[in-house]
């Protein structure tokens, strides 16, 4: 047990001793799960310190058709594979990555969309089962600060998995059932700003009720979008919902304290900082100024300023497509002024709830009786809606947290909901061709470059959403994967056939490579702000 794992165990023994045994039992699987995500990054991202050599064609990689089906966290449990031979060279079922300094890293052959964990990787013949230990030994440029992140992520993921599983019954419970976080990000459960006690109290997989505080701020000193709720005003002051973590860690440094503590009981959703009030009504997105996965979860003044304009634009465009997808609109947002500037640490936004829809990331194989039929229905909806909006001028970031699916009576996807609008990309030129004006939003959201639009939409929708669903349903059965990718390709062709003037978009979707986020590359020391990108083999190619 590494130091951080032991520290979590000691804290857990004081706060939730009933979870101690389950936490220890979950550690090997948590190490394997994050080691698998790290191996994916090492194989498919342009990382410094690795030799630039061709990777094997993912469609020719070995499958695991003889492995019993697994669902949920067990999907990331270790799978036995042979070690490299005595010379440290890759053996049957293994691939090798040369390092620039001459060392050689070997591991199980892994496709870019596989989900299961890795039991071990071998550096010059020595096995490593912990991702932080391996990253430290690799000593790639810019990764020194990430070793602690992986240590924290393993311990946090084991803590998340220690909670007894429950069958979700409500949309909020489905969101809270997503235990493992991002399916491909090595920092999927990195939470360096949260103690064990705070994770148990605030993180969705622990199913808490979080009581939001209210901060009274002069309305004249606030940036406000939309119509702020009347019941959250006090004379000439706005009552701003504040996450209790923010009240404890951020407000004191600003010389502030809540006007009312624990005023709004709410349940955290997938993103942790967005919560559904117990009494119903709009969801509230709060500032949570600590790093979760890879980003600090504050609320920029730009996001507050943009939220209603983005909601109006997407609702207008969706109406042209027959009201699809349904957009969970932002109704209002506010940011308070601190030291003369609107602060991302003191902000909140109100968003429409998604009704009975659940995030695609919450879909499990146990919920789907016929994967082919389910995927065909979902692909028809997702590609029709997303490609239609792209043709009109908006590229969605349609990953499994932002894209929600509403089932019909037959259990198949019947309607989609899209939420969290702050990372879309808008093409003013495309909007203009369709007689739509560009809304007054932040310049970072505007892009006419087709490559930027395609990376935003295709990287999330194909590279993450479809990739993880097909990997979940097929469990490395490569023939079954190929058949389901054919289903997605057919749905894309049908959607494009209904969209005139989209030849460039079609060519990019079926091209040989897919531009997708490079999660580890973006976290290197000295990496530029914003997203980093890599090129993955495109399962829809041809």
* Integer Cα distance of 272 and 97 in angstroms: 36
Give mean pLDDT, residues 27-52. 96
Provide the percentage of residues in the chain whose pLDDT is more than 90. Answer: 88
Across 429-437, average pLDDT: 98
Please return the burial class of 523, using the count of CB atoms within 10 Å of its CB with bins 0-12, 13-18 and 19+. Answer: buried
pLDDT at site 292: 85
Rounded Cα gap, residues 273 and 261, in angstroms: 17
**Nearest of 448, 404, 440, 423 to residue 312 by alpha carbon:** 440
The structural architecture, per CATH, of the domain 358-510 is Orthogonal Bundle (1.10)
pLDDT tens digits, 188-204: 999 998 999 999 999 99
Main-chain phi, psi angles of 540, to 5 degrees: -95, 5
Alpha-carbon gap, residue 272 to 227, rounded angstroms: 24
Name the strands in the sheet holding 358-359, side by side, starting at the edge strand that comes first in the sequence: 326-327, 413-418, 403-407, 358-359
Check if the beta carbon of residue 150 is closer than 8 Å to that of residue 185: no
Phi/psi of residue 324, nearest 5 degrees: -130, 145
pLDDT at 298: 81
pLDDT at 505: 98
pLDDT score at 542: 74
Distance from C-alpha of 182 to C-alpha of 180, rounded to nearest angstrom? 7
Core vs surface per residue 36-48: b (16+ CB within 10 A) or e: bbbbbbbbbbebe
Average pLDDT of span 371-397? 98
Query: What pLDDT, in 10s, does the model give residues 268-305?
Result: 999 999 999 999 999 999 999 988 877 777 899 999 99
The bridge status of strand 326-327 relative to strand 413-418 is parallel
Q: Which residues on adjacent β-strands are paired with residue 350?
A: 284, 332
Model pLDDT, residue 92: 60
Task: Identify which has the larger pLDDT, 459 or 52.
Answer: 459
Report yes or no: 125 and 87 within 8 Å, Cβ to Cβ: yes
Question: Is the predicted pLDDT of residue 438 greater than 50, yes or no?
Answer: yes
Give pLDDT, residue 530.
85
Residue 55 has pLDDT above 80, yes or no: no
Q: SS3 for 471?
A: helix
Domain with CATH 1.10.510.40 in the chain: 358-510
pLDDT of residue 64: 43
pLDDT digits (tens, 9 = 90+) for 106-151: 999 999 999 999 999 999 999 999 999 999 999 999 999 999 999 9
Joined tokens for residue 246 = 């923010």
Reported as a single tens digit per residue, the pLDDT across 521-537 is 999 999 998 899 999 99
pLDDT band at 68 (very low <50, low <70, confident <90, very high): very low
Q: What is the pLDDT of residue 83?
A: 63
CA distance 251 to 343: 12
**Residue-wise pLDDT tens digits, 506-519:** 999 999 999 999 99
SS3 474: helix
In the structure, what pLDDT confidence band is assigned to residue 94 with cuts at 50, 70 and 90? confident
Q: Give me the mean pLDDT over the 340-347 stretch.
A: 95
Give me the mean pLDDT over the 149-176 stretch.
Answer: 96
Q: Answer whether residue 360 shows pLDDT above 70.
A: yes
């Amino acid at each position: 047990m590494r130091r951080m794992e032991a520290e979590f165990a000691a804290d857990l023994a004081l706060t939730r001793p009933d979870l101690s045994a389950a936490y220890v039992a979950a550690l090997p699987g948590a190490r394997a799960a994050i080691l698998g995500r790290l191996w994916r990054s090492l194989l498919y991202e342009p990382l410094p310190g690795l030799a630039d050599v061709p990777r094997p064609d993912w469609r020719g990689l070995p499958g695991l058709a003889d492995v019993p089906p697994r669902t949920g966290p067990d999907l990331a449990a270790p799978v036995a594979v042979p070690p490299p031979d005595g010379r440290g060279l890759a053996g049957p079922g293994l691939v090798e990555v040369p390092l620039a300094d001459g060392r050689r890293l070997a591991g199980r052959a892994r496709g870019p969309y596989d989900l299961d964990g890795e039991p071990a990787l071998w550096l010059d013949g020595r096995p490593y089962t912990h991702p932080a230990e391996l990253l430290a030994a690799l000593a790639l440029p810019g990764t020194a600060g990430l070793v602690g992140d992986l240590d924290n992520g393993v311990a946090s993921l084991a803590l998340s998995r220690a909670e007894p599983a429950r069958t979700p019954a409500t949309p909020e419970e489905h969101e809270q059932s997503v235990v493992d976080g991002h399916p491909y990000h090595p920092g999927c459960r990195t939470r360096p700003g949260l103690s064990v006690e705070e994770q148990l109290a605030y993180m969705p997989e622990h199913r808490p009720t979080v009581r939001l505080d209210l901060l009274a701020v002069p309305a004249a000193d606030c940036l406000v979008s939309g119509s702020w709720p009347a019941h959250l005003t006090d004379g000439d002051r706005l009552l701003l919902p504040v996450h209790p973590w923010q009240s404890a860690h951020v407000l004191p440094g600003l010389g502030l304290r809540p006007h009312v503590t624990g005023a709004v009981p709410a349940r955290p959703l997938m993103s942790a900082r967005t919560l559904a009030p117990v009494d119903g009504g709009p969801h509230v997105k709060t500032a949570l100024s600590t790093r979760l996965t890879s980003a600090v979860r504050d609320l920029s003044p730009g996001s507050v300023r943009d939220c209603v304009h983005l909601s109006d634009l997407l609702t207008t465009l969706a109406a042209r497509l027959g009201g699809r997808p349904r957009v969970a609109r932002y109704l209002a947002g506010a940011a308070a002024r601190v030291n003369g500037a609107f602060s991302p640490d003191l902000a909140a936004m109100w968003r429409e709830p998604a009704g009975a829809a659940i995030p695609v990331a919450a879909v499990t194989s146990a919920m789907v009786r016929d994967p082919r039929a389910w995927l065909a229905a979902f692909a028809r909806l997702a590609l029709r809606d997303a490609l239609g909006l792209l043709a009109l001028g908006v590229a969605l970031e349609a990953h499994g947290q932002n894209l929600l699916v509403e089932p019909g009576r037959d259990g198949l996807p019947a309607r989609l909901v899209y939420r969290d609008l702050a990372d879309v990309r808008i093409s003013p030129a495309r909007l203009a061709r369709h007689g739509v004006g560009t809304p007054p939003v932040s310049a970072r959201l505007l892009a006419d470059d087709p490559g930027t639009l395609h990376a935003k939409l295709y990287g999330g929708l194909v590279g993450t959403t479809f990739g993880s669903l097909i990997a979940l349903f097929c469990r490395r059965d490569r023939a079954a994967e190929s058949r389901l990718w054919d289903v997605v390709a057919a749905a894309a062709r049908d959607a494009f056939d209904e969209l005139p003037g989209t030849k460039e978009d079609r060519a990019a979707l079926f091209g040989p490579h897919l531009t997708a986020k490079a999660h580890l590359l973006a976290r290197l020391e000295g990496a530029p702000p914003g997203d980093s990108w890599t090129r993955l083999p495109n399962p829809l190619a041809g």
